[in-house]
Amino acid sequence: MINKNLKVLQLGKFYPISGGVEKVAYDLMTGMSERGVDCDMMCAATHGASRTVSVNDHAKIFCSHTLIKVAATMISPAMIFALRKVQRQYDIIHVHHPDPMACLALLLSGYKGKVVLHWHSDIQKQRMLLKLYMPLQKWLLKRADVIVGTSPVYLSESPFLRNVQQKTICLPIGVDPMAPDPARVKAIKNKYKGKKIIFSLGRLVTYKGYAFLVAAAKYLKDNYMILIGGTGALRDELQNEINDMQLQGKVELLGRVSDEDLPSYYGACDVFCLSSVQKTEAFGIVQIEAMSCGKPVIATNIPHSGVSWVNAHEQSGINVSPGSAYELSKAIETVVESKSAYDKYSEGALNRYKHLFTKDEMIARCLDIYNKMINETKQ
């Protein structure tokens, strides 16, 4: 049952949205508000002055002016003052981690109500930031009434959550199904006619493991084409590797794939591959986007990450050792070269998406968490 008297604030990172954490916060806001629940969002503006953006009758976004960006964190004193001003309006504040600015704003806001801490990932790369942030992080873990995580693996194996297991609950990320355009799918397939298309998508950075996906092409037959969508610091380096290994006809860097074209690349590919090698990849939303199109997934067994839980081994696809180009190639062949195997993984991928990873399922589960918290307060 939906409690339409509930008022919730998503305390997020950046706006406009530019990554997985922001997208989850935004989707929760829109999903709740479309069901008649008042759900707003507060975050730092990536540029410009503070402003309020109206989304619909039940949702608005408070964008706070950013003073400076340091170590991937928006420093926004305006967020502190904005939250102090409105915090009394909300029954629940749902704060998305990692985001030191949001945590500081919550600490200084004077808010006394219920707090949901959404633990998307540990802080991995910013070691100095983590040292400075650790006292705030400890406060936030203690302050939170409920801690939700995107996978049971990450919740149980994060060293920071070891002493708060009693208040953790799994809330998998959910997305709307991709809707490929048949004409665009046909055009992509025609461009790579006669090729088995392996698609991957993400920022061209070290932890995504694209060097290994490029190298995997060496072991594949000439009728395979690996398409990698995304931009990033390693583009030139990856292109040089493609050239040096003479893989121009087997690997292509697509650059940024537009939101309009993206569903059709999922629709055109035979297999989706997530080659990430570090725990920084905590979930891999791209996997479930591919699954929504019934595409088998090749992913990696990253220790302590939820990636290999999302892609259930030998159900929705195959998981291999991180950093092994040869294992990636063999897994791709295993899925693609046998029709019976391909059909099994394709059906398994779509079923797993429908069972666990729809946006409707995420919203419903989150509402259940909110309602339980409010009911416990009343008792």
Pairing of strands 7-15, 114-119: unpaired
pLDDT at 337 exceeding the cut of 80: yes
Q: What pLDDT, on a 0 to 100 scale, did the predictor assign at position 124?
A: 67
Q: What pLDDT, on a 0 to 100 scale, did the predictor assign at position 104?
A: 92
Q: What pLDDT, on a 0 to 100 scale, did the predictor assign at position 70?
A: 63
For range 293-302, the mean pLDDT: 98
The 10s digit of each residue's pLDDT in 7-64 is: 999 998 766 666 778 889 999 999 999 999 999 999 888 777 889 999 999 999 999 9
Residue 288: pLDDT band by 50, 70, 90 thresholds?
Answer: very high
Question: Position of tokens 């997208």?
Answer: 23
Residue, of 259 and 67, whose pLDDT is higher: 259
pTM of the model: 0.92
The answer to which of 5-9, 124-128, 297-301, 302-306 has the lowest mean pLDDT is 124-128
Buried b (16+ CB within 10 A) or exposed e, 144-166: bebbbbbbebbbebbeebeebee
Write phi, then psi, for 105 (nearest 5 degrees).
-60, -40
Residue 303: pLDDT band by 50, 70, 90 thresholds?
Answer: very high
The answer to which of 4-18, 166-180, 210-224 has the lowest mean pLDDT is 4-18
Q: What pLDDT, on a 0 to 100 scale, did the predictor assign at position 379?
A: 59
**Helix pair angle (77-86, 100-109), 10° resolution:** 40
Residue 141: pLDDT band by 50, 70, 90 thresholds?
Answer: very high
Q: What pLDDT, on a 0 to 100 scale, did the predictor assign at position 99?
A: 87
pLDDT at 320 exceeding the cut of 70: yes
340 burial via Cβ count (<10 Å: 0-12, 13-18, 19+): exposed
For range 119-125, the mean pLDDT: 82
For range 290-316, the mean pLDDT: 97
Cross-strand pairs, 17: none
Fold of 7-174+358-378: Rossmann fold (3.40.50)
Fold of 182-356: Rossmann fold (3.40.50)
Smallest Cα–Cα separation from 299: which of 314, 177, 68, 97? 314
The 10s digit of each residue's pLDDT in 219-242 is: 999 999 999 999 999 999 999 999
Cross-strand pairs, 300: 320
Q: What pLDDT, on a 0 to 100 scale, did the predictor assign at position 91?
A: 96
Smallest Cα–Cα separation from 143: which of 109, 170, 114? 114
pLDDT at 308 exceeding the cut of 90: yes
Smallest Cα–Cα separation from 202: which of 175, 180, 231? 231
For range 195-213, the mean pLDDT: 97
pLDDT at 69 exceeding the cut of 90: no
d(CA 165, CA 173): 20
The 10s digit of each residue's pLDDT in 25-38 is: 999 999 999 999 99
Q: What is the 3-state secondary structure (H, E, C) of the chain?
A: CCCCCCEEEEEEEEECCCCHHHHHHHHHHHHHHHCCCEEEEEEEECCCCCEEEEEECCEEEEEECCCEEECCEEECHHHHHHHHHHHHHCCEEEEEECCHHHHHHHHHHCCCCEEEEEECCCCCCCHHHHHHHHHHHHHHHHHCCEEEECCHHHHHHCHHHHHHHHHEEECCCCECCCCCCHHHHHHHHHHCCCCEEEEEECCCCHHHCHHHHHHHHHHCCCCEEEEEECCCCCHHHHHHHHHHCCCCCCEEEEECCCCCCHHHHHHHCCEEECCCCCCCCCCCHHHHHHHCCCCCEEEECCCCCCHHHHCCECCCEEEECCCCHHHHHHHHHHHHCCHHHHHHHHHHHHHHHHHHCEHHHHHHHHHHHHHHHHHHHHC
Q: What is the percent of the chain where pLDDT is above 90?
A: 82
For range 338-355, the mean pLDDT: 98
**Location of each CATH 3.40.50.2000 domain in the chain:** 7-174+358-378, 182-356
Question: Which tokens in the block code for residue 179?
Answer: 């809707």
For range 122-143, the mean pLDDT: 81
The answer to which of 58-62, 67-71, 293-297, 318-322 has the lowest mean pLDDT is 67-71
Torsion of CA 76, 118, 165, 364, to 10 degrees: 160
pLDDT at 278 exceeding the cut of 80: yes
Q: What pLDDT, on a 0 to 100 scale, did the predictor assign at position 175?
A: 96
